[in-house]
Chains A and B, each alone.
Chain A
């Protein structure tokens, strides 16, 4: 009996180890588009914990390419999207992007929507010298590593240090919070970075952090023990820099424990699924920082086109992916070639690009655009735009 159980234990450990491994990419050279098309890859979260981000993004990219092709394509060639699913998992992301660059021979990659998953793809695109534009990977490390810019990686969004600062200022000045508790997804680079940025700015503004709790996205569903702890600290605000799936559960369980404080977080909250998981009533009195309001003037035409094609309103993720796709199209046009390294050079020099989420000028030293942020409030199952914050 003891033997069997020990064997079983070894089995468990084995399974855990195997599932923790990922595949790393092999080297290969890429060629330009052939036969009148230019192949562009997308490494997206089409399934898994942040599947809605990937789905929305894929729609956004499809719309962008369709419009480009309707205008006659880029350099007379049609743009073709090759999408790969990374299952919202870092290990799968490496495999997905390897497939895109070595098998599908794409000239550039769009992706991914979340920071950890994007970071897992960075070594592959760097080794293969393929430019990659992340629509919404906001962690600072996505484009800059130890003060060194990652040559092949760009993004279409603001970064977490800015997002955390906006969140902290809003908490201090608008919500008048003096104390805050933090709940971090301990496996996510995005969550940790955004928590750090919030804490630094909140403390600088005279605020106090009452406690920090951690969870693991994907495997934790019961947050009551950590919420009970936070409840006893009675903070004015709870900062949850996570993704909509866990945020929904956290807020719902907190309300069930009788906690009525405001909750706030970042762009990871941005999906309608949040209300499905967290229920509209529990999500009242919650706020988040986001990239763009769907009512913004630049967004109007995009929202209209998107709604006509897909039957529902886009979110910020679809808009950012749309911009990322058009950034690559624009770079190919200015480079006058679909050669990967020429696209990279053109992306680095991209200036005053007019996107639907705002003007984009890439800073060659960091590969980040400078963009403003908006703050949104959840109210009775709807997301309401509150204000715009410029850097």
Chain B
């Protein structure tokens, strides 16, 4: 019995650490959707760019973790704003499907552009974190697991605070509520949307560096699967709702760990996407979503 309990707890820890990675990516996803109503499929690929930026400064310039993280966040933010200005802004008044397809295009551009630039060869991160392994009553986790979970919780609160209690956040919510009315009230819509993409992409960049350090391998297509999983997490929690992304990420991570833990590792991804389908059918607003009737 104790044996089974121990295994259960270990899978829970595995799930939480995987889930916090999903949550970290989902935060940026959900925020951009909440403000601009655009599912930014390039989000996972901005994460990949962040991972490479961190890799370059840690391996070539021998920076330590925090400066590398900061550098990746800043450059990813600039990249996010550029993507918005070049690819999404001209389509702001076009149909949503046009913007969605453009987002997929940007995603492919970053993936294969990256492949051209840095080649598809797998790169390895240097050991940035101490390789300490903790053993609590037979349950093992490492330093990186703690960093992941703490970072995603801290970033979630920071993000929630920014959106709810700062001036930028206020204008973000105004733009989200009614773009034209916000414009009439003197909100600079362009700057607000830029800020949204900057923050979202900075979060993606941070997630990229953390993922690179955690799994110590990066490649130009590393953003695809985590990006899709984070999308599922965001939808599960209620897309557009920041704490929802956190909870959705953790729930998804736990589900995957337990599915594998029950011996159905081949079904892991299928279950993740089954959750997406079920949420869309049963409760499209997600776990945290309220049923708000859309204005006609």
Binding site for B on A (CB under 8 A): 1-2, 4-9, 11-12, 15, 47-49, 51, 87-88, 186, 211, 213-216, 218-219, 221-222, 224-226, 228-229, 231-232, 245, 248-249, 252, 256-258, 273, 276-277, 279
Contact assessment for B235 and A5 in the assembled complex, using a CB-CB cutoff below 8 Å: yes
CB proximity of A242 to chain B, nearest CB, Å: 14
CB proximity of B219 to chain A, nearest CB, Å: 8
Contact assessment for B216 and A277 in the assembled complex, using a CB-CB cutoff below 8 Å: yes
Q: How far is the CA of A225 from the CA of B284 in the complex (A)?
A: 29
- Identify B115's interface contact among A47, A229, A277, CB under 8 A: A47
Contact assessment for B122 and A256 in the assembled complex, using a CB-CB cutoff below 8 Å: no
Residues of chain A within 8 A (CB-CB) of B124 are 273, 276-277
Binding site for A on B (CB under 8 A): 3, 7, 10-11, 14-15, 17-18, 37, 39, 41, 96-97, 100-101, 104, 115, 119-122, 124, 127, 131, 133, 135, 140, 142, 215-217, 219, 221, 224-225, 228, 231, 235, 239, 256-261, 263, 265-266, 268-269, 276-277, 280, 284-285, 294
Extra contacts besides A47-B119, A51-B122, A219-B224 (9): CB < 8 Å? A1-B294, A4-B37, A7-B97, A51-B119, A225-B259, A225-B260, A245-B217, A273-B122, A273-B124
Contact assessment for A8 and B100 in the assembled complex, using a CB-CB cutoff below 8 Å: yes
Contact assessment for B120 and A226 in the assembled complex, using a CB-CB cutoff below 8 Å: no
Contact assessment for A9 and B97 in the assembled complex, using a CB-CB cutoff below 8 Å: no
Q: What 3 A-B pairs come out closest when comparing CB atoms?
A: A225-B260, A47-B120, A2-B284
CB proximity of A306 to chain B, nearest CB, Å: 20
Q: Which residue of B lies closest to A282 (CB)?
A: B131
Contact assessment for B121 and A51 in the assembled complex, using a CB-CB cutoff below 8 Å: yes
Q: How far is the CA of A231 from the CA of B269 in the complex (A)?
A: 22
- Identify B41's interface contact among A2, A5, A11, A49, CB under 8 A: A11
Residues of chain B within 8 A (CB-CB) of A229 are 7, 260-261, 263
Contact assessment for B135 and A258 in the assembled complex, using a CB-CB cutoff below 8 Å: yes
Contact assessment for B217 and A228 in the assembled complex, using a CB-CB cutoff below 8 Å: no
CB proximity of A230 to chain B, nearest CB, Å: 11
Residues of chain B within 8 A (CB-CB) of A224 are 14, 17-18, 257
Q: Which residue of B lies closest to A16 (CB)?
A: B228
Q: How far is the CA of A186 from the CA of B270 in the complex (A)?
A: 14
CB proximity of B109 to chain A, nearest CB, Å: 13
CB proximity of B70 to chain A, nearest CB, Å: 25
CB proximity of B87 to chain A, nearest CB, Å: 16
Contact assessment for B266 and A249 in the assembled complex, using a CB-CB cutoff below 8 Å: no
Q: Which residue of A lies closest to B253 (CB)?
A: A222
Residues of chain B within 8 A (CB-CB) of A49 are 122, 219
Contact assessment for A7 and B100 in the assembled complex, using a CB-CB cutoff below 8 Å: yes
Contact assessment for A256 and B140 in the assembled complex, using a CB-CB cutoff below 8 Å: yes
Contact assessment for B215 and A222 in the assembled complex, using a CB-CB cutoff below 8 Å: yes
Contact assessment for B215 and A249 in the assembled complex, using a CB-CB cutoff below 8 Å: yes
A9 touching B277 in the complex, CB below 8 Å, given contacts A51-B122, A88-B120, A224-B14: yes
Contact assessment for B14 and A186 in the assembled complex, using a CB-CB cutoff below 8 Å: no
Contact assessment for B266 and A225 in the assembled complex, using a CB-CB cutoff below 8 Å: no
CB proximity of A388 to chain B, nearest CB, Å: 31
CB proximity of A303 to chain B, nearest CB, Å: 24
Contact assessment for B41 and A232 in the assembled complex, using a CB-CB cutoff below 8 Å: no
Q: How far is the CA of A222 from the CA of B21 in the complex (A)?
A: 11
CB proximity of A57 to chain B, nearest CB, Å: 14
Contact assessment for A8 and B39 in the assembled complex, using a CB-CB cutoff below 8 Å: yes
Q: How far is the CA of A37 from the CA of B225 in the complex (A)?
A: 45
Q: How far is the CA of A250 from the CA of B280 in the complex (A)?
A: 34
Contact assessment for B285 and A1 in the assembled complex, using a CB-CB cutoff below 8 Å: yes
Q: Which of B37, B121, B228, B285 has the most CB of A within 10 A?
A: B121
CB proximity of A67 to chain B, nearest CB, Å: 27
- Identify B133's interface contact among A4, A222, A258, CB under 8 A: A258
A9 touching B280 in the complex, CB below 8 Å, given contacts A1-B294, A226-B260: yes
A228 touching B284 in the complex, CB below 8 Å, given contacts A11-B100, A51-B120: no
Jot down 29 A-B pairs with beta carbons below 8 A, ordered by A. A1-B284, A4-B39, A5-B235, A7-B100, A9-B277, A47-B115, A48-B120, A48-B121, A49-B122, A51-B119, A51-B121, A211-B263, A214-B265, A216-B269, A221-B215, A222-B14, A222-B18, A224-B14, A225-B11, A225-B257, A228-B14, A229-B263, A231-B10, A245-B122, A249-B216, A258-B140, A277-B122, A277-B124, A279-B131
A213 touching B265 in the complex, CB below 8 Å, given contacts A8-B39, A219-B225: yes
Residues of chain A within 8 A (CB-CB) of B18 are 222, 224
Contact assessment for A2 and B280 in the assembled complex, using a CB-CB cutoff below 8 Å: yes
Residues of chain B within 8 A (CB-CB) of A12 are 228, 231
CB proximity of B203 to chain A, nearest CB, Å: 20
Q: Which of B122, B225, B261, B276 has the most CB of A within 10 A?
A: B122
Q: How far is the CA of A23 from the CA of B39 in the complex (A)?
A: 30
Q: How far is the CA of A245 from the CA of B124 in the complex (A)?
A: 10
Q: How far is the CA of A351 from the CA of B18 in the complex (A)?
A: 54
CB proximity of B228 to chain A, nearest CB, Å: 6
Contact assessment for A257 and B261 in the assembled complex, using a CB-CB cutoff below 8 Å: no
Contact assessment for B277 and A186 in the assembled complex, using a CB-CB cutoff below 8 Å: no
Q: How far is the CA of A221 from the CA of B221 in the complex (A)?
A: 13
CB proximity of B25 to chain A, nearest CB, Å: 14
Residues of chain A within 8 A (CB-CB) of B37 are 4
Residues of chain A within 8 A (CB-CB) of B127 are 279
Q: How far is the CA of A277 from the CA of B125 in the complex (A)?
A: 9
CB proximity of A259 to chain B, nearest CB, Å: 9
Contact assessment for B119 and A257 in the assembled complex, using a CB-CB cutoff below 8 Å: no
Residues of chain A within 8 A (CB-CB) of B215 are 221-222, 249
Q: How far is the CA of A5 from the CA of B257 in the complex (A)?
A: 26
CB proximity of B10 to chain A, nearest CB, Å: 5
Q: How far is the CA of A249 from the CA of B124 in the complex (A)?
A: 11
Residues of chain A within 8 A (CB-CB) of B119 are 47, 51
Residues of chain A within 8 A (CB-CB) of B285 are 1
Contact assessment for A186 and B266 in the assembled complex, using a CB-CB cutoff below 8 Å: yes
